[in-house]
Structure 1
Amino acid sequence: MNSSPAPAAPASVPYGTPDAPRIAVRGEAHLEADPEIARIGVTVSARGTDRRTALDDLTRRNAAALELIKSYGQAVEKLETGAFSLSPELTRHGRGERVRAYHGRVHLTAELTDFTALGELATRLADLELTRVDGPWWSLRPDSPVHRTARQQAVREAVQRAREYAEALDTTLTALVELADVGAEDARPVPFAPAPAMRSMAYGAAAPEEAAPLDLEPERQHVYARVNARFTMAPPRL
């Protein structure tokens, strides 16, 4: 006995039907907020004609920078050591490979939540011997409630826009069919956006007197949220 094939599932209609017209809208939100984190980059350098001397100087200066950053306690939320390098500089003339000098560098990154201490710490770091300070780089936390507020506002705008379209046709919305972040269903990779460059604050030997703290004004953060939404509505009388 041959069994009859199962009935095929009805194909989805992307633009709705006369009995259930579909509305597609986009909701957007743009918020401004004060930053929650400030990040600075610190590069400690050393140079010497002898490898051991250059390494000892680099170790001493790195320890001084770390001690200064840690002295600010809870104002510093995160402290990390990045790249370390000690490389020879060869002479450009003469036969053979002769070392002219050794260059050493250590890169540190510090994140602060106390912006009052930020200017003072950055100035004192920049006042250290052969130490460079880059920054500050302002940002929000990844789990900041500002992001949630922006997403919710974008959804409310999408609903409001769809209602206005329905009201223009003298009808009402009946159901939400789809809600998605813009680009959530796009398989293409997101293009890389280079991070904004940090500003160089200082580089050189220690000053004879302690410098006055820098007055740093936090940079306002811009948060964007975009959603695509599709609704069905009651058939309008045209």
Structure 2
Amino acid sequence: MTTQDDTTDATATHATAHAPRVAVRGEAHLEVDPEYARIGITVSARGNDRATALADLTRRNNTVIELVKSYGDAVERLETGAFSITPELTKRGKGERVRTYHGRVHIAAELTDFTALGELTTRVADLDLTRVDGPWWALRPTSPAHRHARQQAVKEAVQRAREYADALGTTLAHLIDIADIGADNAPYAYPAAPGMARAAYGGATPEAAAPLDLEPQRQTVHAQVNARFTLNPPQL
């Protein structure tokens, strides 16, 4: 964003002895709790013929979808991604023969209830030929945390400029402009949330596994701005 003080005259945009200028950078680094977590689920099946592999994959996929949907409002989003049925050829013999068929389907789910997340992750990982990856913790692009970080960065820029003015025994006169870092090039990108736990292929067990106790990973939000001000002429 860029703003211009309507009261600033033409000479205010250029540093002169009568309108000295100060340029500063404001930064903010906030740590906040994540708003949602994403997990990836890979459902697999195999069979001696394509129809068998596809039937098993369909059945297991439906089981996972029904299980995830059973958590109701705790699940904010559920999406099916890539699907594949791949033949595996025999390694021996003169002719090419299909030894078996492998089927996979990828599912992604986003949850806002982290207690339900731990239970769901455990139950899905306990299913036959089913793999769970995640969770990946994140904030929404519209999270208030981004706005708070930007506001804090602006406040710090003003505070820095005032400290320079105080050191010279004067005060700020006008705001010339204020802009996000890189606003003239590419938009500033918030770093992706690191960290991932993984549950590998699962299988049915005589007793249900205890739910995973997942601790949400704090998210770091950054904001930076450049700002320029004019000063009232100091008496040096």
TM-score under structure 2 normalisation? 0.90
Task: Determine if contact 2:12/2:176 at 8 Å carries over to the other structure.
Answer: no
Residue 210 of structure 1 is aligned with which of 203, 208, 228?
208
Q: Which amino acid aligns with 1:23?
A: V
Write the distance in 2 (CA, Å) between the matches of 1:197 and 1:53.
37
- Aligned counterpart, 1:56: 55
Correspondence list, 1:34-183, <5 A = 34-183=33-182
Identity across aligned pairs (percent)? 71
Matched, 1:224 2:222: yes
When the two chains are superposed, the root-mean-square deviation of aligned CA atoms in Å is 2.2
Matched, 1:233 2:231: yes
Q: 1:98 to 1:230 in 2, by over 3 A?
A: same
Write the distance in 2 (CA, Å) between the matches of 1:96 and 1:196.
48
Task: Determine if contact 2:193/2:219 at 8 Å carries over to the other structure.
Answer: no
Q: Which amino acid aligns with 1:215?
A: D
Cα deviation for residue 72 of structure 1 reads 0.5
Q: 1:16 to 1:222 in 2, by over 3 A?
A: same
Q: 1:194 to 1:164 in 2, by over 3 A?
A: closer
Q: Which runs of 5+ in 1 are unaligned?
A: 1-10
Task: Determine if contact 1:130/1:206 at 8 Å carries over to the other structure.
Answer: no
Q: 1:12 to 1:54 in 2, by over 3 A?
A: farther
Write the distance in 1 (CA, Å) between the matches of 2:94 and 2:137.
50
Could you give the per-residue CA deviations for residues 29-57 of structure 1, whole angstroms, max 9, x where no partner exists?
01111111011111000111211100000
How many positions carry a matched residue from both structures?
227
Instruction: Look up the SS of the partner of 1:53 in the other structure.
Output: helix
- Aligned counterpart, 2:4: none
Q: Which runs of 5+ in 2 are unaligned?
A: 1-9
TM-score under structure 1 normalisation? 0.89
Write the distance in 2 (CA, Å) between the matches of 1:138 and 1:72.
19
- Aligned counterpart, 1:8: none
